[in-house]
Amino acid sequence: MVASVTEIYGPDRTVAATSQRDTFAAELAEALSEGYTGIRVAADNSSLVDTPERLQAWLEWEEVADRFMAENPVTGLCAFDGTGSGQRPSPR
């Protein structure tokens, strides 16, 4: 499944830890019912930490996510733009 940040986190792009955990739990349950052994999640989360409020929400989510992944067959890869611009660097 491929989804946009807005589809997953809403138009304000602020992570709500409890509802995000519920989303992951539902996706995991569906995958397990279809015979998969777990789920992998990869995302560019740069726009989810671009204000102090979003960053605080993200840090709260990280704590919940870490616990959820430790207890379930879930692997996550969170990517962030290190340039600070929120844009991909142009090719050379």
- Per domain, the residue ranges of the chain are 5-76
Q: Are 78 and 43 in contact (CB under 8 A)?
A: yes
Of 90, 15, 19, 83, nearest to 45 by C-alpha is 15
Q: What is the mean pLDDT of residues 2-13?
A: 87
pTM of the model: 0.80
Burial group, residue 37, by CB count within 10 angstroms (0-12, 13-18, 19+): exposed
pLDDT over threshold 60, residue 90: no
How would residue 92 be classed by pLDDT, with cut points 50, 70 and 90? Answer: very low
Question: Which amino acid appears at position 26 of this protein?
Answer: A
Q: What is the mean pLDDT of residues 46-63?
A: 94
Q: What backbone phi and psi angles, to 5 degrees, belong to 16?
A: -105, 105
Of 64, 79, 80, nearest to 18 by C-alpha is 64
The confidence score (pLDDT) of residue 83 equals 80
DSSP 8-state symbol, 80: -
